[in-house]
Amino acid sequence: MLILVATVLILLAAVITALSLWGVLSPMVVVAFVRSFMHRPVAIWVAIGIRLLLAVLLWLAAPASYTPFLFMLLAVIALGAAIVLAVAGSDRVSKIIDHVSVWPQQRIRFLCLFGVAFGLFVIWSLSPVWTAY
């Protein structure tokens, strides 16, 4: 079970890394993609669901990682992010995205670097799982 959870989390981290790297390379394309996605009626629920999935996976994979306490802390933060999205609602989130869309590209690139670092950190921290088996 732990191997399955860690594998799914590694795959999710790889997707986060790839999307964030895309944001570093083409920030305005990613902003346009997120804007078009978030205008769909179910988009907020997808965003909430991804954060809830991330929180559960981080929590369950924590014992297998190099950094179990940090994984549990990140799980709580992801859960908090899901709650904030649910409380804020689709309209407010769309306004935030519209606000970010006019930021300078360098600022968006900088924020996307956090996603790259997060994804690579998760993959590295779970490396005992995929190198041991």
Amino acid at 128: P
Report domain extents, the chain: 2-132
pTM of the model: 0.90
- Per-residue tokens: 77: 């933060």
Q: Where are the beta strands (DSSP E) in 1-133?
A: none
> How confident is the model over 50-108, as pLDDT tens digits?
999 999 999 999 999 999 999 999 999 999 999 999 999 999 999 999 999 999 999 99
Give the whole-angstrom CA distance, residue 121 versus residue 126: 9
Amino acid at 118: F
* Residue from 23, 81, 8 nearest 47 by CA: 81
> How confident is the model over 22-63, as pLDDT tens digits?
999 999 999 999 989 888 889 999 999 999 999 999 999 999
